[in-house]
Copies of this chain bind each other. A is one copy, B any other.
Amino acid sequence: MAADPRFFEVTGPHSLAVIAEVAGGRFEGDGGRLFAGIGSLPSATPDQVSFLDNRRYVDALETTRAGAVVVDEAMLERVPAGCVPIVAKQPAIGFARVALLFHPPAPRRPGIHPTAVIGEGASIGEGTEIGPYAVVGEGASIGPDSLVEPHAVVGRGVVLGARARIHNHASITHTIAGDDVVLHPGARVGNEGFGFTTDPASGRYVTMPQLGRVVLGDGVEVGANVTIDRGASLDTEIGAGTRIDNLVQIGHNVRTGQGCVLVAQVGISGSSTLGDHVVLAGQAGVAGHLTIGSGARIGAQAGVMKDVAPGMDVAGLPAKPARDHWREVAALRRIAGNGPLTRMETAGAPSAAAGRNDRKQGRD
């Protein structure tokens, strides 16, 4: 399937030689052969380029009609006749560059839409586009070459670095952000934290002032309809390069290291701390005031109630070492008289699976 021109820019055709160079790969044959675009293995046509990254799809490679395919050395012999292999060390990255060659991002239209409301003292960087009905608060600062889509709200005093992308309906307040930060539609950053105490006299809840901020490192991406609360007194901090999927909840005072991956619907309770490159698979939860060490991997739907050591793989409710979890799953099946384990019960530890997906291809 070619990218739909109603939604994406289209360039080309481009020659095999150019494509291979962009992909950082080598090929044999006619470098002048022209290609019209890219496609997935099952749907690509002879005038399209495809790629294989996930071995799960090697069958699709062997039957693809694509005219060329970006693969690594090991997959070479699986490439069908009539399909030109472009051999690259990092097929996924190579293909990503080829995709951008054919489909560059839509050009920004620098300037402020007449319907946008810009607060006093706000500064907008050069080359930045502010869309219809965007609201930028007093004294806010948005770096150069940024995009603020329709209906986005950037609160009073907020600082966004260069090349920020604030998608439609996202709102961000009480936040200091680095460069290359992305907020997907409906993301809510800087909300008042869920902090209160009970007044024994009245029995009523009294809100604890939430006087901290959110600090987003360079390259942080925040998914659609995510919620990140600002700190109570310290800041809520998201480390550089961290990727947050849709509908994730991050409580006040949470701190994550660099390059963490939080898959959809994960929840991290207040004041917990993650090291670098921690991976939480979908729907996992972390209780409050915990420490998760660098490189730890938390399985899908795991419920973490204790600190997790660096590099540890955990799974289950309550979360425990994944190895123990799967041993317990097997033991329980046995004592229940449910017979030998079938494929369904012996799935690879979810954290491992999640790790693989996240590192390679996100949820794809």
Q: For the complex, is A75 an interface residue (Cβ under 8 Å from B)?
A: no
Q: For the complex, is A173 an interface residue (Cβ under 8 Å from B)?
A: yes
Interface residues of A in 1-41 (CB under 8 A from B): 1, 3-4, 6-8, 38-40
A332 touches B331 (CB 8 A): yes
Tally of this chain's copies: 3
Q: For the complex, is A63 an interface residue (Cβ under 8 Å from B)?
A: no
A344 touches B318 (CB 8 A): yes
Q: For the complex, is A234 an interface residue (Cβ under 8 Å from B)?
A: yes
A38 touches B211 (CB 8 A): yes
Q: For the complex, is A300 an interface residue (Cβ under 8 Å from B)?
A: yes
Given A90-B200, A211-B38, A336-B328; A153-B135 close (CB under 8 Å): no
B305 touches A318 (CB 8 A): no
Q: Which residues of B contact A219 (CB under 8 A)?
A: 204-205
A301 touches B285 (CB 8 A): yes
Interface string of A132-147 (1 = CB under 8 A from B): 1101000100000000
Other than the given A151-B169, A305-B347, 8 more pairs (CB < 8 A) read A135-B168, A184-B192, A186-B188, A195-B364, A205-B243, A227-B264, A270-B364, A332-B335
Shortest beta-carbon contacts, A-B, top 10:
A6-B157, A270-B363, A305-B347, A194-B362, A99-B209, A40-B233, A331-B336, A92-B197, A227-B246, A195-B362
